[in-house]
A and B are shown apart, each in its own frame.
Chain A
Amino acid sequence: MSSTLDNLVRMANQIATNLKHDADPAAAMAEHIQLFWDPRMKQIIFAHDGTGLSPDAAKAIDALKASA
């Protein structure tokens, strides 16, 4: 994995962990990424095969990718 992708995977997992108590964690994480990540960061994480992503993070990113 490239350094940028490593960072994005780590960030996604961090976000998922910190939003796990939200009423709808996947939706909250998807909204967070939509609001704060630039298009290129989203493209990189969307193109990633999911390696290293926590299940919660992967679920949120899949949901966001589907709505994009």
Chain B
Amino acid sequence: MTYQPQTDFGTPASRSEDQVTLTIDGRETTVPAGTSVMRAASEQGTAIPKLCATDSLASFGSCRLCLVEIEGRRGTPASCTTPVEPGMVVHTQTPHLAKLRKGVMELYISDHPLDCLTCAANGDCELQDQAGNVGLRDVRYAADATHLGQTKDHSNPYFDFDPSKCIACSRCVRACDEVQGTLALTVQGRGFDSKISAGLSSDNFLGSECVSCGACVQACPTATLVEKSVVEIGTPERAVVTTCAYCGVGCTFRAEMRGEQLVRMVPWKDGKANRGHSCVKGRFAWGYAQHQDRILKPMIRAAASDPWREVEWEEAFAYAASELKRISAKYGKQALGGITSSRCTNEETFLVQKLIRAGFGNNNVDTCARVCHSPTGYGLKTTFGTSAGTQDFDSVEDSDVILVIGANPTDGHPVFASRMKRRLRAGAKLIVIDPRRTDLVRSPHIEAQHHLALRPGTNVAVLTAMAHTIVTEGLVDEAFVRERCDWTEFKDWADFVSLERNSPETLEPVTQVPAADLRAAARLYATGGNGAIYYGLGVTEHSQGSSTVMAIANLAMATGNIGHRGVGVNPLRGQNNVQGACDMGSFPHELPGYRHISDAATRREFEAEWGVALDPEPGLRIPNMLDAATDGVFKALYVQGEDILQSDPNTQHVAAGLAAMECVIVHDLFLNETANYAHIFLPGSTFLEKNGTFTNAERRIQMVRKVMSPLNGLEDWEVTQELARALGLDWNYTHPSEIMDEVARLTPSFSGVSFDKLDEEGSLQWPVNEAAPNGSPIMHIDGFVRGKGKFVVTDYVPTDEKTGPRFPLLLTTGRILSHYNVGAQTRRTNNVVWHEEDLLEIHPTDAENRGIKSGDWVKLASRAGETTLRATVTERVAPGVVYTTFHHPMTQANVVTTDYSDWATNCPEYKVTAVQISSSNGPTNWQEGYDQHARNARRIETAEAAE
């Protein structure tokens, strides 16, 4: 089979609604006004030769290969830069054009190595294709002065740069500028001396500002920039479109394969979430799928201190079922519970919660959203009536003011950040509310109009002060509020925020945000046109996380920034399917579709479908499960695709809870940290090895397609089904599509969803129902889901976590670009070259006071515990604030975080921990003890030799 890339139309599609009819090579064609002649020709099936043009980039007009003749015009204009006009008559192939093109190609090839047979791009090279297309048969120019034989740059772990093969088309530079927005690449020199450079001439790719998004590699028409995997394996022979398993952006990719071997992941241009772009994780960091650490055989043991024993699937299921039954009989059914995975598919998540509700007989099911976006669910359901964001990602293209609070999209949601940055470069204004000076505050051609560097834990105070400004300065969109919201509740809210105690000036000592800056930011958001709010875990992971979400919703409603493109309230979801996991009924109080378990009518529908009676009482949330475990009443836990020991707060409490259980079943790819306390290990399958769907941060349901057989023999939904069957449940799904059909039957907002419909549409944004058969890109257009929008008074309440003489600094935690969550996947890829360990960011003043220099080992201590890591001294953090990530298990940043949590949802207060930093000369007792425990817990019994 020959490799078939996606069609490249040469220039981007026009969005004009006006149509233009012209004639190309004797055929009449109609396209939107503003379309280039090149694209119009391509859409009708005529491929005009090209090199510097590609449809992800604005036309450039430098290669002179796409020349055409247009009747009535002099010369031979470049088709990529010439827009269509009514009645235009174009000729793409004439003797004159053929001669010109052949001459151009001859010049290119005269300075290009003729090693096609051994070139990595053989069969996937536009230069090679165009040489064939123009009929180039020989090169007359002597190779006196060429660029051949230049040194290759192999520094990037994922792609090579061979300047000898560069044709100086600038596609890579333009991709870095236009698509990614990093502007790391440049063309150095002029004319013959032109060469592509990553930053300074002394930089290689790895040492430059390149973020390895892959846009340049994708744009390169030759083998100048090529994936190392293609160099090693060869050209792909087939492609399957699937959805990335990193982060809530939900990029779709072509998984390009040879047989069952993945060669590369190439962003799918038709993907509605990523629009053909990618980041270093989705594009390149998939090596974990074949990593030697993967566990492929089920394992069991009587005690967590024993070595693991490999068994067959049947024995593992039988043992798990017998243990669950034993514990249920001995301690009662409430002693059992489970955790669904935000990394697994909707179908798998649905089955796990069904297993717990219908099989375990209780509602003790929770998910990792407990520790990230559960306040989003609570806050947006309360104010708007739906536990989800209001917009699609495309909406940002119409935003005039973008307010980013508690989010670091260039690291956490990089592909969406690139789209946001594109809009900012085009003139939208930016407000950043964050204790740290994130990259977005100032990056190439972008500078925030306002960076409100608030003291951690004062989000509600800042947002209420913004509301005070908007209300007291008469900036409320009263017409919107009167029509769309409960006016009485608005009045109560407006009276409250107008109190002097909520003014920016009064709150300045609390927030540490200069009042004048805060007022200016509020005015800009209220009056600057379409205002869109994007937020992340810096909003939710606080003791007032839910209040902050509602305060954001209040601002959007008060200014009328809801219900159309360019505006809205947009939670940037952390994991790939955290939205879907919530949708699928992973919370202990809700059935799928966010319907409370106490609602008898809803319960009856599920009982009829599942054939069991459901418990009407809400179940335990993750922290409550751990409390109950340490109390001795919660004894068994089934954890699918989640590592609570590393990701959840107060590690020592989590460890104590897990250690107190009699049956911990971990269903995962690797022996993660939680598995160090497990009794049964069920090997999981990667997103490449299964079918299903993920739902991204914009409520977009997208297909996950199996591109290779599961290395462990079973897809995750099959594992859960076999466990259910071992427990006596009569489940007989033969394909995940049948699970989605059940979801659709039981969930009004998914009633129109099916695999067939998803295949047909590409993706669907829920609600998908009779009223919106093709989904709902933007919500609350004519009215809120709950009816009238609800204003909620959000009074600032300081956290109980206080600084003082013993713990004078505030720790806030977060993520970086190259790693994902607990790092279980990315630490098993070459992404470690960018981040080998978690580092503690500390301000120069705080560092100097403690005699700390960059690179020093320091002890990070809080009331909950202490750990050690190395310091980096930086002004990214304000004085009094320190920051670290939690991607590496031996750092264990969560040994330090506390049990404090959001008042409404128990989402942990990761973002505020009072700490002290001091010099250290070695690991803490906890780290040493845990390391020993982990080594012991990961032993696998060697099978006895056959006689």
Contact = CB atoms under 8 A, between A and B. Distances in A.
A41 B624 contact: yes
Contact of B903 (A3, A11, A35, A38): A11
Contacts of A34: 598
Given A4-B631, A35-B618, A38-B588, A14 B543 contact: yes
Given A4-B631, A40-B628, A40-B633, A18 B903 contact: yes
Contacts of A14: 543, 797, 903
B502 interface: no
B628 A4 contact: yes
Contact of B627 (A3, A36, A39): A3
Given A7-B899, A14-B903, A18-B797, A35 B596 contact: yes
Given A2-B631, A18-B795, A10 B334 contact: no
Contact of A21 (B364, B544, B795, B904): B795
B353 interface: no
Contact of A3 (B334, B630, B795, B904): B630
A21 B489 CA distance: 11
A32 B544 CA distance: 15
Contacts of B630: 3-4
Contacts of B903: 11, 14-15, 17-18
B714 to A, nearest CB: 32
Interface string A21-43: 10000000000101111111100
A21 B497 CA distance: 12
Given A7-B899, A14-B543, A40-B628, A35 B334 contact: no
B367 interface: no
A20 interface: yes
B496 interface: yes
B904 A15 contact: yes
A11 B795 CA distance: 17
How would you classify the secondary structure of chain B's contact residues: helix, strand, loop or mixed? Answer: loop
A10 B598 contact: no
Contacts of B363: 38
Contacts of A41: 620, 624
Contacts of A21: 492, 496, 793, 795
B28 interface: no
A37 B627 CA distance: 13
Contact of B617 (A11, A17, A39): A39
B674 interface: no
B621 to A, nearest CB: 8
Given A11-B903, A17-B903, A18-B904, A38 B627 contact: no
A32 B598 CA distance: 13
Contacts of A32: 904
Nearest to B633: A40
Interface in B591-623: 596, 598, 617-621, 623
Given A35-B618, A38-B618, A7 B627 contact: yes
A26 B904 CA distance: 15
Contacts of A4: 627-628, 630-631
B343 interface: no
Interface of B: 334, 363-364, 492, 496, 543-544, 546-547, 588-589, 596, 598, 617-621, 623-624, 627-628, 630-631, 633, 793, 795, 797, 800, 899, 901, 903-906
